[in-house]
Amino acid sequence: MKAAVFKKRDEMAVIDVPNPIAGAGEVVLKVHNCGICGSDLHAVQYGIGMAADTVMGHEFCGEIHAMGPDVNGYQLGDRVTSLPYFACGVCAWCQRDDAMHCSRLRSLGLGQLPGAYAEFVACSAASLLKLPANVSSRAGALVEPLSVGLHGVNHASIEPGMGVVVMGAGPIGLSTLIWAKAKGASAVVVSELAPGRTELAMKLGASAVVNPTESDPADAVKSITGRAPDVVFECIGVKSTLGAAIGMVGRHGQVVVIGVCLESDSIFPLTCVMKELQINFALAYTRSEFQETIDALANGTIDATPMITDVINVDEVPAMFTELKRPGTRAKVMVEFPH
């Protein structure tokens, strides 16, 4: 089968690889769609933990093409999305629906197991979730990034009337915006440097989009709610943004860090003490948050399809990875396979 793979730092390629085979408790999906994630871009840029010819891609959905032994509750042709990992299912972390901390976790698409920039991908049946008929396959491949935003928002105590700042209008920032609005925030101001993303953030429900080099996002929140932001979501993941979030949030406020910074950083603790802040860090999602996202897409509580700015085929993946090194108007790029 054809697959987009990591070759070496800053280089992707499309090659033929063997078709996966479903083992016990596993299924093989015919991939419909797979999104390109910022984590994929960072992994290729730094070559973190990946061997040459690693099949990447972890935001995906498809239909069940083959089933191994001991798979129950599914049929060939079922359209599903999947948590992008195999977990043990029995440890304390798995039992509390927090499998991202399972010591036996093996992830798809980032070096441990082949991912879904391919015509077929093998998944654990325990990681599958069915997609309703009214949730498109493109939307199904958004469940993973949307669940990252949901997990971050679930770390916050959002109540009606609150004002929040979302730092960054990339896919995770936009997912966080969507969920902050859905959970009842009255004002959601997005802080974003790239002017091309302003229209998209507004389309997805932002109260305002502010370039932080030109004005203070906290002032934009204050103009709507009459006070400083109650919550700031850091969705950028570069050095100094945590300090900026701490500076923006109001007294007794909360900073939720969703962005992944790969450098050492520093903050001024006295500011946190004087404001009596809470600072929370959010990693990935839970299975229940995947299901909540699917349900919200199905019942119309959220609509994330405007996030999809580009749809490409697998042959275009290497060139797109090069394109995405440069800031622009793209949000979620979707790799689509014939189905």
**How does the average pLDDT of the chain come out, rounded?**
96
Q: What angle do CA 44, 313, 121 make, to 5 degrees?
A: 70
| pLDDT average, residue stretch 80-98 | 97
Task: Report the C-alpha gap between 235 and 241 in whole angstroms.
Answer: 9
**Residue extents of the structural domains in the chain:** 2-142+304-336, 148-281
| Helix or strand holding residue 95 (H, E) | helix 92-95
Residue 325 sits at φ, ψ, to 5 deg, of: -70, -25
| Amino acid occupying residue 305 | T
pLDDT at res. 262: 82
pLDDT at res. 42: 87
> Which two tokens mark 16?
């033929």
With 90 as the cut, is the pLDDT of residue 130 above it?
yes
How much of the chain is helix, strand and coil, in % rounded to 5? 30, 25, 45
Q: Taking the C-alpha atoms of 199, 205, 210 and 216 in order, what is their torsion angle to the nearest 10 degrees?
A: 180
With 80 as the cut, is the pLDDT of residue 49 above it?
no
Closest CA to 227 of 257, 199, 202, 252: 252
CATH of 2-142+304-336, one of 3.90.45.10, 3.90.180.10, 3.10.20.30, 1.10.287.3510: 3.90.180.10
Mutual angle of helices 143-154 and 171-182, in 10-degree steps = 60
Task: Report the C-alpha gap between 288 and 154 in whole angstroms.
Answer: 12
Task: Report the C-alpha gap between 120 and 86 in whole angstroms.
Answer: 16
Task: Report the C-alpha gap between 6 and 316 in whole angstroms.
Answer: 14
Task: Report the C-alpha gap between 288 and 307 in whole angstroms.
Answer: 23
Assigned fold of 148-281: Rossmann fold (3.40.50)
The answer to whether residues 22 and 122 touch, using CB atoms and an 8 Å cutoff, is yes
pLDDT tens by residue, 205-253: 999 999 999 999 999 999 999 999 999 999 999 999 999 999 999 999 9
pLDDT at res. 67: 98
Q: Taking the model in full, what pTM does it have? A: 0.96
Q: What angle do CA 20, 144, 244 make, to 5 degrees?
A: 135
CA–CA distance from 153 to each of 94, 109, 165 (Å)? Answer: 21, 25, 12
